[in-house]
């Protein structure tokens, strides 16, 4: 089969490798190089780097809405367009070009968590299960029928970064299964998504990283997990602005004002929340690196361990 692959971030790389394993990937679409790092130098996407390493031609249009963009895709004569976290809207005229249409690898069990940040939103909401869907794309946002799906349990202390990596690998596996069926002449049967249970995973915003101590401890613990490694939860604790890498919720009764430091020890810093307390286990001071609560207390002799 002649495949075209469209993707941009690290999440899409395992799927690109799966697509390139036994099919002919004739081209890769990815977003234009963006400024990154302290020097703000133009930096290629992870998918672009992976494609170049394998000698696959790369296209980086700013948009796919023009006739020129449609002609460029049509000239590739694709049997299938595989899309994984590409980041650009595919107009209906683009979706209609490949022989078998366009497939999307999406990191949730649709219709739950349609949208840009399904991995983080699942953890933030306290979900115990995530997964991957291989979807036949249509004009709506992640509304197309599901071809294949695979669930995945979320570990109790799993961070957004850890779940991201596991789902990226699972997405590659599900895509490989779908391509294997198509190559054998057994095209996966599309199943319409249920009407009930639709939720939207809105794009992450750095402003969300600031913890509100008036919220329940369980809510804040989920945010800490979800926002690691980005945008990373932060809060004022003991007079310092800290980035919080790891924390757990305590079912602790108290009458303290939310944000009050209740107790400190080598196991963590216990901060009063609207309900319960949040035990901060790993943190980062401004300009520093991630350290344990014990190391933080060694540097803050003014805090009495208990």
pLDDT-based confidence at residue 40 (cuts at 50, 70, 90): confident
Looking at 145, 180, 201, the residue that finishes a domain is 201
* 305 found inside a domain: no
| Binding site members for (6S)-5,6,7,8-tetrahydrofolate | 108-111
Residue 238 has pLDDT above 70, yes or no: yes
Looking at 145, 168, 201, the residue that finishes a domain is 201
pLDDT in tens, 49-64: 999 999 999 999 999 9
Return the closest-CA partner of residue 278 out of 305, 303, 254, 304: 254
| Binding site members | 108-111
Q: Please compute the mean of the pLDDT values over residues 194-205 and round it to a whole number.
A: 96
Residue 38 has pLDDT above 90, yes or no: no
The pLDDT, as a whole number, for residue 125 is: 98
pLDDT in tens, 97-142: 999 999 999 999 999 999 999 999 999 999 999 999 999 999 999 9
Looking at 201, 220, 247, the residue that finishes a domain is 201
* 243 found inside a domain: yes
The pLDDT, as a whole number, for residue 114 is: 98
* 304 found inside a domain: no
Do residue 29 and residue 161 come from a single domain? yes
pLDDT-based confidence at residue 301 (cuts at 50, 70, 90): confident
Per DSSP, 188 falls in state P
Do residue 210 and residue 195 come from a single domain? no
Q: Give the total number of structural domains in the chain.
A: 2
Gyration radius (Cα) of the chain, Å: 22
Q: Which residue would you say has higher pLDDT here, 305 or 193?
A: 193
Q: Please compute the mean of the pLDDT values over residues 5-18 and round it to a whole number.
A: 98
d(CA 173, CA 281) in angstroms, rounded, equals 35
Reported in sequence order, the residue ranges of 182-276 that DSSP labels E, i.e. its strands, are 200-201, 233-237, 240-250, 261-265, 268-272
* 306 found inside a domain: no
pTM of the predicted protein model: 0.95
Q: Please compute the mean of the pLDDT values over residues 164-179 and round it to a whole number.
A: 98
The pLDDT, as a whole number, for residue 21 is: 84
The pLDDT, as a whole number, for residue 131 is: 98
pLDDT-based confidence at residue 304 (cuts at 50, 70, 90): low
Q: Please compute the mean of the pLDDT values over residues 202-216 and round it to a whole number.
A: 96
Query: What CATH number corresponds to the domain at position 233?
Result: 3.10.25.10
The pLDDT, as a whole number, for residue 306 is: 46
CB 213 within 8 A of CB 246: no
Q: How far is C-alpha 53 from the chain's CA centre? A: 24
d(CA 125, CA 204) in angstroms, rounded, equals 14
Query: What CATH number corresponds to the domain at position 14?
Result: 3.40.50.170
Do residue 244 and residue 189 come from a single domain? no
Do residue 36 and residue 131 come from a single domain? yes
The pLDDT, as a whole number, for residue 129 is: 98
Do residue 188 and residue 216 come from a single domain? no
The pLDDT, as a whole number, for residue 22 is: 72
Do residue 135 and residue 192 come from a single domain? yes
* 152 found inside a domain: yes
Q: Please compute the mean of the pLDDT values over residues 182-195 and round it to a whole number.
A: 95
d(CA 162, CA 225) in angstroms, rounded, equals 10
* pLDDT, averaged across the chain: 96
d(CA 251, CA 241) in angstroms, rounded, equals 24
Structural domain that includes position 276: 206-299
């Amino acid at each position: 089969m002649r495949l075209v692959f469209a993707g941009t971030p690290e999440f899409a790389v395992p799927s690109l490798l799966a697509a390139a394993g036994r099919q002919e990937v004739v081209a890769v679409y990815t977003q234009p190089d963006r400024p990154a790092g302290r020097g703000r130098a133009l930096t290629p996407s992870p998918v672009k780097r992976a494609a170049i390493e394998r000698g696959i031609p790369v296209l980086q249009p700013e948009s796919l809405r023009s006739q020129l963009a449609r002609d460029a895709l049509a000239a590739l004569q694709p049997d299938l367009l595989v899309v994984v976290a590409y980041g650009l809207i595919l107009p209906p005229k683009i979706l209609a070009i490949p022989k078998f249409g366009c497939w999307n690898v999406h990191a949730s069990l649709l219709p739950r968590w349609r949208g840009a940040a399904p991995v983080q939103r699942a953890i933030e909401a306290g979900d115990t299960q995530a997964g991957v869907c291989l979807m036949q794309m249509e004009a709506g946002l992640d509304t197309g029928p599901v071809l294949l799906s695979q669930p995945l349990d979320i570990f109790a202390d799993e961070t957004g970064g850890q779940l991201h990596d596991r789902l990226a690998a699972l997405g590659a596996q599900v895509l490989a299964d779908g391509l294997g069926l198509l190559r054998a002449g057994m095209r996966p049967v599309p199943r319409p998504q249920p009407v009930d249970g639709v939720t939207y995973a809105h794009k992450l915003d750095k402003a969300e990283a600031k913890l509100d101590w008036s919220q329940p401890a369980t809510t804040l613990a989920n945010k800490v997990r979800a926002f690691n490694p980005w945008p990373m939860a932060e809060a004022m604790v003991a007079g310092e602005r800290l980035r919080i890498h790891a924390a757990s919720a305590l079912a602790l009764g108290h009458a303290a004002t939310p944000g009050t430091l209740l107790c400190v020890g080598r196991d963590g810093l216990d901060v009063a929340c609207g309900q319960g307390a949040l035990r901060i286990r790993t943190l980062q001071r401004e300009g520093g690196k991630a350290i344990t609560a014990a190391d933080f207390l060694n540097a803050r002799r003014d805090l009495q361990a208990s």
